[in-house]
Amino acid sequence: MHVKQDGSKYGVGISMPRRESYEKVSGSAVYTDDMVLPGMLYGAVLGSDYAHARIKSYDTKAAKALKGVKAVITAADFDMQRCGMLIKDEHPLARDKVRYIGEPVAAVAAIDMATANLAMQLIEIEYEELDAVFDAEEAMLENAPILHEERDSYDGIVASPGLHNVASYTRCQEGELDVWETCDVIVEGVYETPAQEHMYIEPCSTIADIDPMGKVTVWSSQQSVFIPRQLTAEALGIPMTKLRFITPQVGGAFGGKCGVTNQPVTVALALAANAPVKLTYTRSDDMIMNKSRHPSRIYMRTGADSSGKLIAREAKIYFNTGAYADEGPLIGSVATFFSRGPYKIKNMNVETWCVYTNRTKAGAFRGFGVPQATFAGESQIDELAEKLNMDPFDLRMKNMVATDDKWLGGQNIDHGTLPGCLKAVYEASNLRERPKQQKLDNNKWRGIGVSTSAHVSAVLSASAVVKLNEDGTITINTGAVDIGEGADTILSQMAAETLGLHPDDITYTCTDSDTSPYNYQTAGSRTTYVVGTSVTQASVQVRNQIYKHASEMLESAESDLEILPGSFVGVKGSPDARIPFSAVAGRALNQVGGPIVGMHSWLYHNTPFDKETAMIEGFALDGGGVFCFAAQVAVVDVDKDTGKVEVVEFWSAHDVGCAINPKSVEGQIFGGVVQGLGYALFEELVWIDGQISNPSMMDYKVPGMNDVPYDIHAIILETQEKTGPFGARGVGEIPLNGVAPAICNAIASATGARVRTIPATSERVLQEILKLE
């Protein structure tokens, strides 16, 4: 934190307003669909009518002949190749086979939307229908239809496990298998979680423009400019020199705009029409054609001794990845990795299958496999507590991991911040004094539930360029797409802190694959930690160069210099001996040394698994690190006549190391909790015979202001992360992870009814209540 001459504060630790505030509150922020190019055409995508069918033939003549239609494409026209982040199993437009209802199979570009929609109705596709399978475990049976006959030959970084319809298989085993006889108490259950829709308010949108040299510029609502460029290049066989990806403002993403969405099809349409094309999904198309969270079925068993010490857990986790793997193999690995929860359990045996079925694919979504595993695990902790006649909070305190304990797989926990989080929610919610079960008016009952969760906040690589401009201001350039979470602001704050500048004197560039240095994606709670490290280190380089110049200009040792407010560097204790950054920049540009530029590039190295203690099979990640922790408490009211649940108050404690912008951290916590509340109580894509029956915001309920409590308490703890920029670690995903089990534990405390399938709709809650009577 710095203090300006007028007394205002800036830099790290200040809740400065978002840098794009003016644009966003005035309605002038530009999102992809707001852009219009001269001569721009409008795209539309035709989805498959069948859940599983062979494509026999296409007839696009009538569509092509329609006035105003400029291009009609199919995979056959374009020789599209399979692409994918982990397994190259998916064509941008279906080729040879369709594998789910709504799978993109042809696309049109026309002078307006009405013409494009009309043309789609004129496309004839002849299919040969095949048997379909929709359930993950059924798909693994020998007689189930096979979705990907060639799975074993697909390229990618995840090898085929050689099992029927299984995209990937992961196993982690530690300790002994045969220890169940030594357990005094065992709980066992099946837990099911839904396909949650991301429901970012801005549907996927892409514009592709082609220049006379054949280079295509792509503006899209996406989480990276690099991954979609790579996948588009692979799918269309275009070199990256012919593709430039730019990200305007993004209207939310949550993982749903990771990888590629409709960029390859839009590029193909622009190439076919030789004109700019905009393709914006309708809400229904977005829900049917883009991914959801992996629905899961988890068979879990946990055992403890009579003192409450956890002894063993085993789990079989089935992830339904739909027609394509997307990031499923990695998500399955992460679920396995987090299946022990933040507890010391010596004997673990967990297997995860990521299975192809004839449904819309599943992929990355805030939490990335952890919410599913946490729902099962945290439910079982409460179920064990009940059997042990122990307080669930005490059972957690007894078994939780702390600093220098090991994670599943053997990684050291350098900052075991869970105890602090648990104590914080315990005190803030006055847990000691609160009755576990309280009868209210009519047949309403109040209960309270606790959960813990964990996440990682560092994966893969990033880089940053920080430049001193001629006038002494700074430009920072990273590949970090701000999808709404605030990267542009907090990265500016880190540079401001390092260089003693006010953020107003720092500008940041729009992400552009031609000019921005590489960054993986805005995903994995990694931007603050991984990109923040690059911005900070590049800023340090700029600062060091400023000191070097200033030392020569002021004839003073570098160690005697300091950065002063207002973009000055001066001699400590000599108020008059100072020069502006602009003078340093001018000297560097015109007299000595050359332009002042800082550049930092790095790859976060996971701490590898300990192969001595853990048997690891099929993991798509090579380890973990920078663990972060959270504890949550929910108070709910349950109407025992109707099963309706209302969350009345919620506490969520997070150790973020250092809150670069505390109000933004709170925003992540509030937003994650409410998205988790939707996951717990309302949200579920429903398929009937392979068809999503609720592909609209009318039929798929996300929480509104009336559905969630105002009393959500975000508790921020700051145990410095030794390796993080300013001691920070990520917070993007973890607030969602433990919400569903906290709520279901509270429902059980209020009513005695244990709901093991979410969302815990009134119907499901009532069914469990009736079973008790």
Binding positions for another protein, rule: CB under 8 A: 14-18, 20-31, 33-34, 36, 198-203, 249-254, 282-284, 483-486, 663-664, 666-667, 669-675, 696-698, 702, 704-706, 708, 710, 712
Q: Using an 8 Å Cβ cutoff, are 422 and 397 in contact?
A: yes
Q: Please give the Cα distance from 204 to 219 (Å, whole number).
A: 11
Q: Which two tokens stand for residue 659?
A: 């809150």
- Smallest distance from the beta carbon of 681 to another protein, in angstroms? 14
Distances in Å between the Cα of 682 and the Cα atoms of 287, 331, 447, 645, 739 are: 16, 23, 19, 10, 13
Name the residue with tokens 């309302």: 682
Q: Using an 8 Å Cβ cutoff, are 488 and 413 in contact?
A: no
Q: Please give the Cα distance from 495 to 539 (Å, whole number).
A: 6
Residue nearer to another protein on the CB measure, 203 or 328:
203
- Smallest distance from the beta carbon of 9 to another protein, in angstroms? 9
Residue nearer to another protein on the CB measure, 411 or 453:
453
Distances in Å between the Cα of 80 and the Cα atoms of 219, 237, 337, 639 are: 21, 8, 35, 54
Residue nearer to another protein on the CB measure, 67 or 432:
67
Residue nearer to another protein on the CB measure, 113 or 186:
113
Q: Please give the Cα distance from 182 to 611 (Å, whole number).
A: 26
Q: Please give the Cα distance from 434 to 202 (Å, whole number).
A: 41
Distances in Å between the Cα of 543 and the Cα atoms of 505, 575, 691 are: 15, 20, 58
Residue nearer to another protein on the CB measure, 1 or 163:
1
Q: Which two tokens stand for residue 567?
A: 């973009």
Write the single-letter amino acid at 446.
R
Q: Please give the Cα distance from 356 to 164 (Å, whole number).
A: 9
Residue nearer to another protein on the CB measure, 538 or 708:
708
- Smallest distance from the beta carbon of 728 to another protein, in angstroms? 18
Closest CA to 648 of 569, 713, 573: 713
- Smallest distance from the beta carbon of 158 to another protein, in angstroms? 30
User: Residue 30, SS3?
Assistant: coil
Residue nearer to another protein on the CB measure, 194 or 623:
194
- Smallest distance from the beta carbon of 187 to another protein, in angstroms? 32
- Smallest distance from the beta carbon of 32 to another protein, in angstroms? 11
Residue nearer to another protein on the CB measure, 28 or 693:
28
Residue nearer to another protein on the CB measure, 22 or 602:
22
- Smallest distance from the beta carbon of 653 to another protein, in angstroms? 16
Closest CA to 724 of 456, 487, 533, 495: 533
- Smallest distance from the beta carbon of 200 to another protein, in angstroms? 6
Residues 6 or more apart from 143 whose CB is under 8 A from it?
none
Name the residue with tokens 């503006």: 219
- Smallest distance from the beta carbon of 658 to another protein, in angstroms? 18
